[in-house]
Structure 1
Amino acid sequence: MYKKCSHCLAKRWPSEPAGICCSNGKVKLPLLEEPPQPLLRLLTGSNPESRTFLKEIRQYNCAFQMTSFGSSYQYEGGFMPTFKVQGQVYHLSGSLQPTENEAPQFLQVYFMSDYLKQAQRRNSFTFACNNDTITSNNRLKLIWDLQSMLHEYNNYVRSFKYALELNPADNFSIVIDADNRPSTEYAGRFNAPSFNEIVILLSCDQHHSRDIVIRQRDAGLQRINETHRSYDALQYPLMFVRGEDGYHFGIPQFDPSTLEYNFFKTVSCKDFYAYRFMIRDQKDNSDQNNDTGNMYTIEWQKRGLPHAHILIWLVDNICSNDIDKIISAELPDPSVDRDLYNMIKVHMIHGPCGPGFRRDLPCVKDNRICTKRYPRQFICETQTDTDGYIVQTMKTRRWWLHCDRKKLRDRQQMGHTILPNSYQHL
């Protein structure tokens, strides 16, 4: 099903090159910590609000992001609104506190003295179009919980609050070094920033061009360099809850032959994110491989509705009897379930096309042959081949359905689910 890297235990498809995950052992990064609660329960589906949260997760992240999104773009309205980005996408950072008569936004919201007003502010500018009182109250409660989590765990938020409390002057700046510590000091390189990893400077002090400089109160915006270690953490706080470092120029390569870091060679941006994106085992379980896999793709149909194609790999091959319990290609008995019978009659019948039926349909080739292979042959038992494809059982029945003044049996219909008291279909 998949191959496992001998260096980092990453799972990859057989056709993928061996070094795609860790550049054959040259990239070695610490694993990201498990998200704290309540985010972990929301992500794993164990929270009653998980379904709504995952559906709107981008909006929730926008409610807490510390930097703003910037680009040249076009917006086209109408039946299918389209947002087109032109050129490069970039992130912008403002000051810690808003200027006079300006409402706080992005990073500035974290420093509002009233936590309830913080949550209300996030809820109002993120979900402004929703007027449902019950839904709004649930969102406000969820935002409050996530907000409390970030105040407790995110080291950027804690560091910024500490800087504001420590320095009462109005002209100071906070500087976040672009590459963390010097390349000869590897310890803690990938950890979240601690209090001493930000520097408080007077407005006249010097800093490097790629550093992030956040002033105490300023109307200007600073563009954040894409290779700054905080680029991801400030924009995606729900992905990097503790403020973990992203890519920067100072990440050394690992030498698998000496088991030491080579500080004269650094990891590329591509290799860094390739390592982060891969799924890997925490430990080697090659002797007992009970893993399952799944893959899906979502298409958007002409009317803008989502349509999913899902593949699921099981540990053991599913037998034909189990398939028949889930999906059927036979007409249901109208005397047992008239509603399901009527739904299949309306929605699940192909054509009818071919000889004796309409020949002007798109599926008909040479005015006689259906390219979708309808009508199908009757089959007594469901069959599976070595690749897992199934040919479902279609037995002759005593009941028919009428379509275009013709009698049809099971051979012209497509599969539908068999769930008790359910009228769903595939």
Structure 2
Amino acid sequence: MDSLLPLEGEQPRFAQLYMFDGDDELNHMLGIFEQGDSDNNLDKEIVEGLRNMLDSLNELVRSFRYARDMIQQHPKRQFRLNLIAAGEFDYQMYNPPTAMEIVALILDDIGHNYDGRDVIVQHRGHSFQRINDLHPLYMAMQYPLLFPYGQDAFHSNIPFSQSPVRELISKKCLTMRDYYAYQIQQRCVESNSLLRGGHLFQQFVVDVFATIEEVRTGVNLPASFVSGLRYLIQNYQDSLAICRSYGYPMLFITFTCNPRWPKIKDAQRMISGQKAHGRPDIVVRVFRLKLRMLMDDLTKKAVYTVEFQKRGLPHAHILLWLNYPEISSPSSFIDMCISAEIPNKDLNPIGYEAVWSHMFHGPCGLINPRASCMADGKCKKRYPKEFRSSTSVDEQGFPKYRRRENEITAVLNGVELDNRSVVPHNVDLCVKYQAHINVEYCCRTRAVKYLFKYLNKNSDRTNVVLESAGSDSLYEGILIYIYIYIYSS
């Protein structure tokens, strides 16, 4: 947060917008997002409606309004707004006051030297002040539209209530993870405004996850903590033990979530206007159920890890050991389990539809040089492949699947594709799970190392450079690197 009022000659921003009246406030709000194209500008009536809603409901907004009135009545005096946290005291007694009780504290008054987790906003200042993410008001101030009443969020003294349907638990207070897991559940008796937040809800979930991780990683974590160092090391050692006992794995399967699954669609219909990308909680739950079903269908001799694609869909990498007699002809075994061809539409219409919907790569190459897989004029996945009359395995153990040059084709995005663009798959799995399931033959250590790399890697990250709008120069001449983590379960 910045100061209550902007410095001379600067435009108001953040909470400073609540320190103005009427049209001045609306104009400042609209001016932040004003663009040359009028179609992208904000609707003044909607912004005004949101402003009026927060004024009537949100206790925090009322606090800033009260501070505004005090500043207007006494323009020569210096003020600061202090929203006191519970600290180590009884939360029921020392909770933040309501709007009618909040006053503007004069500088050097009570709370000036308080070292607790308070939110303090000065009258005017040259530097920002960080709000601790463990403060009970952090979420309400960070996401005013998700918490329109300005209500408190998690604090460390929420009592844990025992349930008659579960065993007695020794803990007395609710953990942060328990609290926010409860918050994101969908309930028919509530408005579920949090779940209607779309991209803002996603930001909230990531923010919550980051806060929980930051708190939990401050201790010596056991191996049961997912993504912790001991967890990764234990899984790595278990995978090596399986490989040592059963030999090399034979199949490498990538199972990707399908946002069009009926269960995801049905859950979206419960709240109008919902889309899969706006409900990551529903997507990961359904994917977890499908993954368990897939693992039960395959075998217990498997190692897998779950991660998230850059577009947000979870997928699992699976190494599978088969209780299969010694393979004298890898080609015949591969043809029995894996196909890289389009099924005959007349003989197998269901299989044809599943492969057409989920197992094509592209179109890319000369047909679509702007595809995301293209680099330096070539497909990074080396599609389209070459036609091959039979399956073979090269000296390094890499398979070259059968892709016969027949007349079976499929039209995808207006482009006619043949067997050269088909991703290796198992038709039965694609039909049952209606998802992208890439099945590859492997009998070498390289595939094991590939999976183990994912078991032991940290969160995805990227470097971002902030630049001023309409210019190639760096923002204020400063190069800023920001690590953006893609959190996964």
TM-score, normalised by the number of residues in structure 2: 0.38
Greater RCO, 1 or 2 (C-alpha within 8 Å, sep 6+):
1
Q: Which has the higher helix share?
A: 2
TM-score, normalised by the number of residues in structure 1: 0.43
Q: Which has the higher strand share?
A: 1
